[in-house]
Chain A
Amino acid sequence: MNPVLSNLITALARFLIFPGLLFAVPAAWFFLWVERKAVALMQERVGPPFMQPFWDFVKLLGKSTPPRPGIAGFIMRAWPLIAVGSAAGAVGLLPVLPASGGFEGDLILLLALLELPSICIIAAGFSSRSIFGEIGSAREAALSVSYNIVFLLAIVSIAASQHTFRLEDLAALPSSPLRWLGVVAILICLPAKLHINPFSLPNAEQEIYSGPMTEYAGPELAMWELAHGLEWVAATGLVATLVAPHVALAWGTTLLAGGIFVALSVAVVLLLSVLAAATARVAIDSSVRFYWQCTLIFAALAISSALFVRFRS
């Protein structure tokens, strides 16, 4: 077969089937349920039923939306769709199955796609012209500037120590202390990236209503919920792909790669949910200070030692 055509088919299959939309959308609902249920159990509640995120999604699809005339309304409707598309693309890039393809530099594309939903949220808040949306967007922007430095430095330090920007090679290379340091740094950034406690500032209920989503209703809100769920899948999946090959090798099998990926993702979701239930929201200045003062030192240490390792070898 024509190599270009076969590459295209592989890419489409990864985007649409596994680990793309066909897998990622139910997984997104499942992860949202796991998060809500875990928080409920921590608070000694029964919690939502298993199908709850799915029912919420269907119900929102059936609601009416306020009229949004003109180009501004069109742009406002476009943001949630862009967010869903980029989050689904990020999930599709994850090297879950061994030898599933990929290309040199797909790590950079993955980072860009992971960042797009947050940029969409910022833009959506400002384009909705709601005062609460604008406050939420400003907070999201401040938070994004803070945690992304640590997040990117952690990933770049892993990539630099392993001499590659290709996800599949990165996942397959042997474990090192630097990689585990990087994984911990990514885990510290995830609560801010997923807007959960203690960094649930952009969509802080009781303070600014729903932040950037205040003006969204019906199917648009359903798309935001879906984008949020897909972000969960992509972010926890990134951690899982960095950890999974080692678990798989330790168990002496690579056949169970998909299952191990899902199990590790759920474990990360549980960890983050327990953290969210156990903590209260931190103020915006404290959050920014936390990332710039406390964690940046470790990220700088990680990248400098990665460069040191690289030049010594």
Chain B
Amino acid sequence: MKFWKQLMCTARRKSPWLFHMNAGSCNGCDIEIIAALAPRYDAEQLGVLLQGSPRHADILVVTGPVTKKAVGAVKTVYDQVCGPKAVVAIGSCPATTNVFIDSRTLDGPLDKHLPVDVYVPGCPPRPDAIVAGVVKAATLLAERGYAAENIEAETVVIGDPEACTSCCESKPQEGAEVQP
């Protein structure tokens, strides 16, 4: 029985199957997900496969600030994914609704509706960050073991969000005079 548990733990870590859900994304993060699966980054060497049906998936990959029209679809798709499952929020939009904050067409961010396990911030995030986020989610799935549902989600942020916000602010050039 212990052997079987260890085997299952390894299998869950090594075979994360994704279902990609667009919840009103601008398509920027979506093409980065495709780039992570394409030959340059080749996520399949880690066992990652993009599946057509949410029933086949282990990890729900969501992009976009959740629009009002997408709320029902996001919840339905999350319920269709069979346990054990994890949710990865790709980009800044599902994490904070990003530049669309306070929009009357939104009902976000994502963690209002689903337990999010891993955040991959960025606008859009790099493909290697997406791969790292998916691998982190697969590791969480393996650690969760036989607890079928992710009731108590552990939140992980891939990369340094502070570095992202600070680089957007205008920094004074070295040696340049700063006018008050």
Contact = CB atoms under 8 A, between A and B. Distances in A.
A binds B: yes
Contacts of A48: 44-45, 47
A59 B42 contact: no
Contacts of A252: none
B45 A49 contact: yes
B79 to A, nearest CB: 9
B44 A63 contact: no
B31 to A, nearest CB: 15
Interface string A253-275: 00000000000000000000000
A228 to B, nearest CB: 13
A62 B148 CA distance: 10
A55 interface: yes
Interface in B2-52: 7-8, 10-12, 14-15, 17, 39, 42, 44-45, 47, 51-52
Main secondary structure, interface of A, reads: loop
Contacts of B82: 63-66, 217-218
Contacts of A214: 52-53, 55
Interface of B: 7-8, 10-12, 14-15, 17, 39, 42, 44-45, 47, 51-53, 55-56, 58, 82-84, 148
Interface of A: 36, 40, 43-49, 51-52, 55-56, 58-59, 61-66, 132, 205-206, 208-210, 213-218, 221
Given A45-B44, A59-B11, A215-B53, 14 more contacts: A36-B44, A44-B39, A45-B39, A49-B14, A52-B47, A55-B15, A58-B15, A63-B83, A64-B83, A205-B52, A208-B52, A210-B56, A213-B56, A217-B55
20 contacts: A36-B44, A40-B42, A46-B45, A52-B15, A55-B11, A58-B15, A59-B8, A59-B11, A59-B14, A62-B11, A63-B58, A63-B84, A132-B53, A210-B51, A210-B52, A213-B53, A214-B52, A214-B53, A214-B55, A215-B55
